[in-house]
Structure 1
Amino acid sequence: MKKIIMTSLVALMSATSFLLNNEPAQAHRRYRYYDTYPFYPLNYCYPITHWLVDEDPAYHPQAYADGYRQGRENAKKGKEYKPRTAGGEFARGFDDGYYGRKFAGQKNIVPNVYRPYTTTDCGWF
């Protein structure tokens, strides 16, 4: 009988202490070396403009020279002649370089077109 009374007293005391003395649990404070910054960095996205170079493969300013160089390299390596799909000044330069003709230079030049396009860039602050 004594054991039952002691057990019920201990149970009653522990139940009341849990119910009446409940303080919220709190972990240790975070170590903040820089008090001006928040706990987590902020994610910020902003628009940024890039420039796309639209280059015509057949008539860009260096098309003849590029074709001439590639034709000369293919002839040195002994590769079989294949007509170029780009056409225009590039193909003319490739033919001249492949067959060992004199460098004639570019006749038709179509300047490169620079087009802006806007995208989003994000960073952590």
Structure 2
Amino acid sequence: MDTPDGRALTSREREVLVAMITHAKPSHGAFGASERAALLETVDDVRVWGRCGCGRCPSIDLGDTSGEYPSTGPRVVLDGWRGTEGLLLFVDNGVPTYLEQYSASDDVFDEFVPVSEIEYH
């Protein structure tokens, strides 16, 4: 990153983050209404500290102005889908640490899928 405190989320990144917190089901760990509410209160403070190095996806490392959130402590993984593409939100120790989009194909994505296209199973 070229700023000492990360960068702000783009509007699409923020929309996907909020949608995942609000609607996505946990594939790992427990995540109830109180955890969702607490996490939603932190969204305005979330900053981007890095991107996946694959060059094919929009996945991002998350933190706040003090730095990237550590991927330690109890972990919850929230899942969303669009066809053969998956979205994951990693929540470690009560904070969002990584927002990922992946694909089973060779497609390249410059940004996250629109929230209207995300499914939650």
Q: Same fold (TM over 0.5)?
A: no
Q: Higher RCO, 1 or 2 (CA under 8 Å, sep at least 6)?
A: 1
Which of 1 and 2 has greater Rg? 1
TM-score normalised over the length of structure 2: 0.21
- The structure in which a higher percent of residues are helix is 1
TM-score normalised over the length of structure 1: 0.21
